[in-house]
Amino acid sequence: MITIKDLSKAFNQQVAVNISDLHIGKNELVGLVGNNGAGKTTLLRLILDLYKADKGYVLSKGINVAQSEDWKIYTGAFIDSGFLIDFLYPNEYFDFIGRLHQFSKEEIKERLSQFEKFASGEIFGQKKYIRNFSAGNRQKIGIIGAMFTHPEILLLDEPFNFLDPSSQNEMKRLLAYYQKEYGCTLLISSHNLEHITDICSRVILLEKGLIIKDLLGNYAETAQELQTYFLQ
């Protein structure tokens, strides 16, 4: 689904990403972990063509993301609040996204119903501008907007940020369900090792833009290896 070759990006001569070869296959749920400055968000932005690479390329289903926009129709993402249209009500925002995908009003309503528990009665139908919601609810609005179109590829940067414990658990349930139900390829960054190892079958550890570890295996082995690394 996603292939990266000789990809590099630097800011003021500081290397943020330097990956020679990486492939993420169909239906994988992959976690990105690393300390601050490891390159997680930069990598996601390069995959979404939000940054221009200094070298190399990203292929999404064989499409070079820097040379075509065809990949956007099957890709969902939420990186930060800049993805939101903050002068809209939440339902206006979802309707706008739905219309872009040519969904009927009934289909939009049906798809959003999967997120009722996650929304906790605080988002749908609220006559309040997105900019006036709490950080946690803005996070939920962005995640729902990225997921309810059922994209084939979904990228989320720190999706557990600002969420209360109940919402974090529901977020994990939604991601696992979504990957299984729709065969989606998910790439998720997080500082929370427990959440990542709970739901991801593959974990990529970045440090200063480099892939230090690419871990496959059971929860206990992956969790132990990551804990050992970060305790060094």
CATH number of the CATH domain containing 127: 3.40.50.300
Q: Has residue 217 got a pLDDT over 80?
A: no
At position 100, the amino acid (one-letter code) is L
The continuous run of DSSP H or E covering 3 comes out as strand 2-11
Q: State the number of CA atoms in the 13 A half-sphere of 178 facing the CB.
A: 29
- Provide the residue count of the chain: 232
Average pLDDT estimate for 190-201: 90
At position 15, the amino acid (one-letter code) is V
Give the chain's largest Cα–Cα span. Answer: 53
Q: Has residue 105 got a pLDDT over 80?
A: yes
Closest CA relative to residue 26, chosen from 150, 197, 153 = 153
pLDDT in tens, 78-104: 999 999 999 999 999 999 999 999 999
pLDDT in tens, 180-195: 899 999 999 998 898 9
Cα-to-chain-centroid distance, residue 9: 20
Average pLDDT estimate for 185-214: 94
Average pLDDT estimate for 95-124: 96
> Residue 148 to residues 60, 66, 114, 152, 229: CA-CA distances in angstroms?
20, 25, 8, 11, 36
pLDDT in tens, 157-171: 999 999 999 999 999
For the chain, the average pLDDT equals: 94
Cβ-based burial of 206 (10 A; exposed 0-12, middle 13-18, buried ≥19): buried
- The pLDDT > 70 percentage for the chain reads 100
Give how many domains the chain has, as a whole number: 1
Looking at the DSSP bridge assignments, the partners of residue 65 are: none
Average pLDDT estimate for 54-64: 97
pLDDT in tens, 41-50: 999 999 999 9
User: What is the residue range of 48's domain?
Assistant: 2-230
Residue 30 in contact with residue 200, Cβ under 8 Å? yes
φ and ψ of 30, to 5 deg: -110, 135
Q: Has residue 232 got a pLDDT over 80?
A: no
At position 157, the amino acid (one-letter code) is D
Residue 1 in contact with residue 185, Cβ under 8 Å? yes
Planar angle of CA 73, 186, 199, nearest 5 degrees: 155
Residue 179 in contact with residue 186, Cβ under 8 Å? yes
Token pair listed for 121:
């009665």
